[in-house]
Amino acid sequence: MKIAVCVKHAVDETELKMGSDGRPILEGAIARISTFDKNAVEEALRLKAALGGEIAAFTVGTPEARKTAKEALAMGADRGTLVVADGDVDSLQTANLIAAALKKTGPFDMIICSEGASDTYTGQVPPMLAELLGVPYVGYARKIEPLAQGFRIERSLEDTVETVEAQTPLVISVVSEINEPRYPTLIQIMQASKKPLEELKESDLGAKPVASARVTSVMAQVSSRKHVMIEGSPEEAAQKLVEALSREGVL
């Protein structure tokens, strides 16, 4: 089975610094593979272990996104493709570029994504990919089970678990509860640099341009919490907390 896994080079929200003007400093911000995308890679590895085949990792971004493609290779993907975009891309443009890259290097039986990127968390790329490729899509998968033909998949929705059956080629997004991603060993990290990592330019792909949503401003979220630290023995502190919460009218 040929599996494609999509990974995003995402700004690490835990290391994002805020400037004195109240704006996040995105220029040069530390970025790495989106946390939940590791679950997508892990699921691809498990399916490959069960069914055989090959895994290709795809990412879209600046040349720096090589780092993220390499992370997928270190985890166990067999080859990688980095699509270098001409500028900032939104989710539809990203899906458009990945779809073009998949067509150019495919065909693939299964395309696995995570439920959303850890930085923007819109979850739009996987369903958009399915639309652009014209293939079935199953989102928010928490369990993927191969059948004699196709797959049975449990979708984790808010209050419901929906079980569906779908045939390949197929786009799947997985929830982060589906598995526990492995950590690559030092040897795997070293071996990853020997694996093929192809770089495609946006212009190489000839993808038809699409409209986009544009970020017009970004501001740090201002916390308006009181930050009252309650001191004293456990009994005193507990008593004061209960009094404070009663005064707030929430107890």
Segment 67-126, which members bind other proteins (CB under 8 A)? 90-92, 95, 115-116, 118-126
Q: Is 20 in the site for other proteins (CB under 8 A)?
A: no
CB of 78 to other proteins, least distance (A): 28
CB of 218 to other proteins, least distance (A): 5
Among 52, 87, 186, 226, binds other proteins (CB under 8 A): 226
Choose between 52 and 231: whose C-beta lies nearer to other proteins.
Answer: 231
Residue 27, interface with other proteins (CB under 8 A)?
no
152 binds other proteins (CB under 8 A): yes
Tokens for 224, please give them: 């308006």
Q: Are 203 and 172 a contacting pair, CB within 8 Å?
A: no
Cα separation, 173 vs 198, in Å, equals: 24
Per rule CB under 8 A, is residue 136 in the interface with other proteins?
Answer: yes
The residues with which 171 forms a beta bridge, in sequence order, are 111, 137
Token duo for residue 97: 């570029």
The two structure tokens encoding residue 233:
């023995």
- Residue 142 CA to residue 185 CA, distance in Å, equals 26
Binding segment for other proteins (CB under 8 A), chosen from 60-68, 74-82, 100-108, 153-161, is 153-161
Identify which of residues 106 and 136 has a Cβ nearer to other proteins in the complex: 136
Q: State the angle between helix axes of 66-75 and 37-51 in degrees (0 to 180), rounded to the nearest 10.
A: 40
Rg (CA), the chain: 22
**147 contributes a contact to other proteins by CB under 8 A:** no
193: contact with other proteins by CB under 8 A: no
In 3D space, the residue among 131, 127, 132, 135 whose CA is nearest the CA of residue 167 turns out to be 135
Q: Does 220 engage in binding with other proteins (CB under 8 A)?
A: yes
Distance CA 71, CA 192 (A): 8
| By CB under 8 A, residue 24 contacts other proteins | yes
* From 73, 176, 181, 197, residue interacting with other proteins (rule: CB under 8 A): 176
